[in-house]
């Protein structure tokens, strides 16, 4: 008598289909898991290009005051727990009247950066955020003046169009500012008001704003 073999192929076929389906399901789950991990740990390109100028060492900031021209203004910068404070005394004597601090950028600004965001707390005086596209100490700068509120933190959002090229207090012709070219960043006080001044600021963020 012939053995019964006809139902077996169908059984094997059903089993194979189930195994194939299970493999597809496991593969889909693995793919979804990998995508989830990548989304969690690897930010988008726009986010990855953003960075902050951390405030770690006061020694990385230079003081440049009117003493280079015979004035007697004085300034200093201290950093405590991520907050920097630029302070001193502004004097109008001996044709003086300005105090400033600046630092060089160790991380190049990428081409997609189009906004600078920072928090400042002042004394009610006017200050300037200054950017330079070279490493010289006496060259034109791109300046963006801002007014502070005494003892209150305010947030500044600045685009390239908020800056004007100046040299020794006068506007000059210069190429349109591109944050990608920044080499130095700093603050200046020159509001023609003699006396004590104090400006605090936190981490400076270079961002890609939509």
> Which of helix, strand or coil describes residue 58?
helix
Pairing type for strands 51-53 and 184-189 reads: unpaired
Pairing type for strands 164-167 and 141-147 reads: antiparallel
Please check whether residue 187 is in contact with residue 99, taking contact to mean a CB–CB distance below 8 angstroms: no
Q: What is the pLDDT along the chain (210 residues), one digit of tens a residue?
A: 454 444 545 544 554 555 545 555 555 555 454 444 443 333 344 444 688 898 989 999 999 999 999 999 999 999 999 999 999 999 999 999 999 999 999 888 888 999 999 999 999 999 999 999 999 988 999 999 999 999 999 999 999 999 999 998 899 999 999 999 999 999 999 999 999 999 999 989 999 987
Identify the pLDDT of residue 22. Answer: 54
Q: How far is CA 210 from CA 46, 49, 158, in A?
A: 10, 13, 13
Please check whether residue 167 is in contact with residue 188, taking contact to mean a CB–CB distance below 8 angstroms: no
The set of residues, in sequence order, having a beta carbon less than 8 Å from that of 197 and lying 6+ positions away, is: 87, 88, 89, 90, 99, 123, 125, 189
Choose among 114, 93, 134: nearest CA to 179: 114
End-to-end CA distance of the chain: 81
Please check whether residue 99 is in contact with residue 61, taking contact to mean a CB–CB distance below 8 angstroms: no
Q: How many whole angstroms separate alpha carbon 163 and alpha carbon 173?
A: 13
DSSP, residue by residue, 145-204: EEE--BT-EEEEEE-GGG-EEEETTEE---PPP-GGG--EEEEEE-SS--EEEEEEE--E
């Amino acid at each position: 008598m012939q053995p019964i073999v006809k139902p077996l192929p169908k059984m094997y076929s059903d089993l194979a289909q189930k195994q194939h389906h299970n493999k597809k399901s496991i593969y889909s789950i693995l793919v979804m898991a990998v995508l989830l991990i990548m989304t969690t740990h690897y930010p988008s390109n726009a986010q990855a290009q953003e960075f902050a100028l951390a405030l770690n060492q006061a020694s990385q900031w230079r003081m440049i005051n009117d003493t280079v021209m015979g004035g007697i203004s004085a300034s200093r910068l201290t950093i405590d727990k991520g907050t920097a404070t630029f302070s001193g005394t502004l004097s109008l004597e001996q044709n003086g009247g300005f105090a400033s601090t600046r630092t060089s950028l160790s991380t190049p600004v990428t081409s997609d950066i189009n906004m600078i965001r920072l928090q400042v707390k002042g004394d009610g005086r006017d200050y300037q955020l200054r950017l330079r596209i070279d490493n010289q100490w006496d060259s034109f700068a791109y300046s963006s003046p801002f007014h502070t509120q005494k003892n209150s933190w305010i947030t500044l959002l600045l685009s390239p169009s908020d800056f004007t090229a100046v040299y020794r207090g006068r506007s000059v012709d210069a190429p349109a500012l591109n944050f990608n070219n920044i080499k130095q960043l700093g603050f200046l006080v020159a509001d023609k008001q003699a006396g004590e001044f104090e400006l605090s600021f936190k981490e400076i963020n270079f961002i890609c704003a939509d």
